[in-house]
């Protein structure tokens, strides 16, 4: 008879130790080392109890943090599902290195698990310029063109600032006055062409802290 089966004969029963959560699986992190500013980062992972039977749904939670140049950011707890999986969502908002840490601190019936960390480089988000210009304009009427920054959803609009406009025609190339990009990413170009035939307008935006630079061009046929 074992010690745990014989408390009646004066031997105190020995309770088994609480089950241990296995170290969080390495598959929790997708194998990437580079993400872009503002893009959604998904952490998914399996964990498993060293005990028989499924994990009771909703009873276990893991915690996740992101550490970057701005400090440590709590991504909130994630509930472990009955199949042992969980999901954490994040959108990094600073360019540079970001380290994700997923932890299980244990509870009354489960021991802590080993933390898992993964570092990625958060790069500048790409942008583009959508340029709308007339196919044809006149020397007397001038050229009126609309431009708009295009960026991915969730990445935040490029900051307002100046964009450079270059005009190229049969007489050569030259930089026009800078145009101001509004807070919504739009700006306009008003120009009186100096000669007939094809005139190309090239718009360049230098970028900002979280966004890459972008450029676009349109050619207008100029008549008298």
Tell the residue number behind the tokens 């031997």, with chain if given.
11
DSSP strand E in 69-196: where?
A: 71-79, 85-90, 96-103, 116-123, 127-132, 136-138, 143-151, 161-169, 172-175, 179-181, 186-191
pTM of the model: 0.65
Percent of the chain predicted with pLDDT > 90: 28
| Mean of pLDDT values over 64-80 | 91
pLDDT at 37 over 80: no
Q: How far apart are CA 205 and CA 214, in angstroms?
A: 5
The pLDDT value recorded for residue 7 is 43
The pLDDT value recorded for residue 57 is 55
Q: CB within 8 A of 189, min separation 6: which ones?
A: 133, 143, 144, 145, 147, 165, 176, 179, 201, 203
pLDDT category of residue 70 using cuts at 50, 70 and 90 = very high
The pLDDT value recorded for residue 9 is 43
DSSP β-bridge partners for residue 175: 166
Write the pLDDT tens digit of every residue in 76-134: 898 887 777 788 888 888 889 999 898 888 777 777 777 888 888 888 888 888 889 99
> For residue 57, what are the CA distances in angstroms to 80, 82, 169?
7, 4, 69
């Amino acid at each position: 008879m074992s010690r745990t089966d014989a408390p009646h004969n004066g031997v105190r029963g020995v309770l088994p130790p609480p089950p241990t959560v296995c170290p969080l699986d390495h598959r929790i992190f997708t194998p990437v080392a580079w993400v872009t500013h503002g893009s959604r980062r998904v952490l998914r992972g399996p964990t498993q109890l060293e005990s028989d039977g499924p994990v009771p749904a909703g009873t276990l939670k893991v915690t996740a943090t992101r550490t970057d140049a701005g400090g440590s950011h709590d991504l909130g707890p994630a509930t472990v599902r009955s199949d042992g999986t969980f999901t954490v969502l994040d959108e990094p908002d600073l360019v540079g290195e970001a380290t994700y840490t997923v932890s299980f601190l244990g509870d009354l019936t489960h021991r802590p698990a080993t933390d898992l960390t993964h570092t990625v480089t958060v790069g500048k988000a790409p942008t583009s310029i959508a340029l709308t210009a007339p196919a044809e304009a006149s020397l007397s009427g001038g050229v009126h063109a609309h431009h708009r920054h295009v960026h991915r959803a969730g990445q935040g609009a490029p900051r307002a600032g100046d964009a450079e406009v270059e005009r190229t025609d049969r007489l050569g190339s030259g930089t026009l006055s800078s145009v101001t990009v509004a807070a919504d990413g739009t700006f306009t170009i008003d120009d009186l062409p100096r000669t007939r035939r094809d005139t190309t307008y090239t718009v360049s935006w230098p970028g900002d802290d979280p966004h890459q630079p972008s450029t676009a061009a349109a050619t207008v046929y100029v008549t008298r």
